[in-house]
Homo-oligomer: A and B are copies of this chain.
Amino acid sequence: MSTDHERGRGRRQAKVLDRGSTAVAHPNIALIKYWGKRDERLVVPYVDSLSMTLDVFPTSTTVRLSPGARADRVTLDGTSAEGEVRRRVVAFLDLVRELAGRTEPAAVDTRNAVPTGAGLASSASGFAALAVAASAAYGLDLDDTALSRLARRGSASAARSIFGGYALCHAGQGVGAAADLSSYAEPVPVPDFDPALVIALVDAGPKAVSSRVAMRRTVETSPLYEAWARSSKDDLTDMREMLSRGDLEGVGEIAERNALGMHATMLAARPAVRYLSPATVAVLDGVIQLRRDGVPAYATMDAGPNVKVLCHPADAGRVADTVLGAAPGCSVVTARCGPGARLRTAAGR
């Protein structure tokens, strides 16, 4: 989690050394999912969500002000970004500039350690890092709540990656400015619960349907969406209880049912959105077999074919072996709870 001290240092760097502000953020995995926006423009979710920030696949983003440039320059993993990616980053910078009362263009350089668009929430780590780096570069002094609210405008799941450990993102109340103001994440203190998350990367290619398009289609056309959104409230209540108990079986069962419910709403969209590939289903079968064999393991999936399996750290090796056996072509990474978004200090550069 970034501190005022760190943010202050970042701001000074931006102004004095002109080396820009660099922030690092990690993806998070939603145990209670965010799916569907009630305000597309302000990126306000329909449902509360609850996540665990991971310690793998960080995004590192540097924002450097370019007073003499004609326009923003956006590079992603060393390549000039175009199209939708560039549009979203520039729109986010416009928002930061509006908040800061500034107008200078910026150069944004983002490095992802995770395949973009593969359902591993690179937009969560990406916009969390961008929110921290850009607000520092433009001299905004935001607290964590404000940073979370800001990150949400880039991608709702990014609101949670501002925080380490577990975070709850409020869907908020009201409409317009009231909705914007009341929708942000906050940390959920969970002492002594640091499970392993075995991530099965079954397909690192780009998605057939972007999560933005898929969400909109689900909300607009799936006859099952509203029922899932209602059921998700109960899931959240149950999840908080199980987290507070540090009950892996309880947490896992609720996370799995919440995720399957979300994918069910998509399956009923028109046309259907199905992120579950044959390999996804093979891994899900493997997880069921693990439970039959007495290993507590629970699956969750986001807007892509990858499966993330929650388990005891001591079982992670066995879970990884099962996953690899079920989907031989996949690669496996094991994550634990990770830190919140933060500015990188000068010493680290």
Contact = CB atoms under 8 A, between A and B. Distances in A.
Contact of A278 (B256, B263, B264, B279): B279
A118 to B, nearest CB: 17
A281 B282 CA distance: 10
Interface stretch (A100-108, A119-127, A226-234, A332-340): A226-234
A284 interface: yes
A268 B278 contact: no
Contacts of A256: 272
A6 to B, nearest CB: 43
A250 to B, nearest CB: 13
Q: Assembly of this chain: how many copies?
A: 2
A267 to B, nearest CB: 4
Interface string A264-283: 11011011101011111110
A167 B274 CA distance: 30
A109 B282 CA distance: 39
A10 interface: no
A142 interface: no
Contacts of A279: 278
Contacts of A281: 274, 276-278, 280-281
A285 interface: yes
A265 B263 CA distance: 10
A32 to B, nearest CB: 14
Contact of A260 (B227, B230, B268): B268
A267 B256 CA distance: 10
Contact of A230 (B223, B274, B276, B277): B223
A45 interface: no
A35 B90 CA distance: 49
Interface string A241-276: 000000000000000110011011101101110101
Contact of A285 (B264, B265, B278): B278
A224 B278 contact: no
Contacts of A264: 224, 264-265, 267-268
A36 to B, nearest CB: 14
A278 B277 CA distance: 7
A277 B281 CA distance: 6
19 contacts: A223-B230, A223-B231, A223-B261, A224-B227, A224-B228, A226-B227, A228-B268, A231-B268, A256-B272, A260-B272, A261-B267, A261-B268, A264-B264, A264-B267, A267-B267, A276-B281, A277-B281, A277-B285, A278-B281
Given A224-B264, A274-B284, A278-B278, 12 more contacts: A223-B227, A223-B231, A224-B224, A224-B231, A226-B227, A227-B227, A257-B268, A260-B267, A261-B267, A264-B264, A267-B267, A277-B285
